[in-house]
Amino acid sequence: MDSRVDAFLEMLTVERGAARNTIASYTLDLSDFAAYAAGRGFAAANADAATCQGYMASLHARGLSARTAARRLSALRQFHLFLLQDGVRTDDPTSQLDTPRLPKPLPKFLAEAEVDALLAAAARKPGRPGALAQAALELLYATGMRVSELLSLPRTALGAKAEVMIIKGKGGKERMVPLSTAAKQAASALLAATEAKSPWLFPGRDPKQNLTRQAFFLLLKQVALEAELDPARVSPHVLRHSFASHMLARGADLRSLQMLLGHADISTVQIYTHIQTERLRKLVEDHHPLSEHWVDPR
């Protein structure tokens, strides 16, 4: 190992208190780079821009993923920043390197049957915790609102005959979302089980304060266990993704979905187009004249 690499790793350990796994990752990445540079007559600390560029190209040629290549580039940049700050180098040979383009992860969502199981488990939960869980889940899934929007709803958000609810989103922007019958009934039941002096639809232990995110997350995990779902797969944001994915699967358009979710830019909701792609593929399979000869490209 290059002595400068050793010094860099020591700095990460002593000065930054980096975790053992972080040090192990940097060691692996920089050892790999040092071996590549040595094959071209350079020490890791002396490699020129062409060597760094060639190394990054070699990662692609070796079949490493874009995520791994991005991590190794990050290690190289941190290493050369250390060399600059320590006066070992006066230039940064990684400054012109492009970060590998990472694929956008598809949104994680539950199947409709899994959402049904979650709602049923909340409905079976007794007492005020059950009323709170059922109202929260019905509203989250019926509207696609963010958890911050849900927990900040005032008690007055739900009128006696409300068909829609006004949600205050990011930047104080308001939007109207329709309410399902189940969501209205669950919210009304929660109001009946809550002290009238609380100004919040979802009050915490102190009625003057709204329910905290931590308390709601814990309740949601309990309901997921009772629904026999992996709690790690269930979160308010997963329910928001489920709302959007299921709406698209049933024919909603992106512009309407953008308005319901409260996004300023329609490009933000285009992550859900994988649902439309799957629906169109099935449409062709079911109705194309040559559907029996259709070959699934997957």
> Active-site residues: which are they?
146, 170, 237, 240, 263, 272
What lies within 8 Å, CB to CB, of 159 at 6+ separation is: none
For the chain, the C-alpha Rg in angstroms (whole number) is 26
Q: Report the DSSP beta bridge partners of residue 210.
A: 203
Q: Classify residue 93 by its DSSP letter.
A: T
> What is d(CA 173, CA 132) in angstroms, rounded to the nearest whole number?
26
Q: H or E element: which one contains 73? A: helix 66-85
What is the rounded CA–CA span in Å between residue 146 and residue 107? 15
Backbone angles phi, psi at 66, to 5 degrees: -60, -35
> What SS3 state is found at 204?
coil
* DSSP track, 252-276: --HHHHHHHHT-SSGGGGGGGHHHH
Strand partners, 176: 166
Rounded to an integer, what distance in angstroms lies between the CA atom of residue 184 and that of residue 56? Answer: 56
What is the spatial distance between Cα 126 and Cα 228, in angstroms, rounded to a whole number? Answer: 17
Q: Residue 127 corresponds to which amino acid? A: G
CB atoms within 10 A of CB 285: 12
CB 129, CB 219: distance < 8 Å: yes
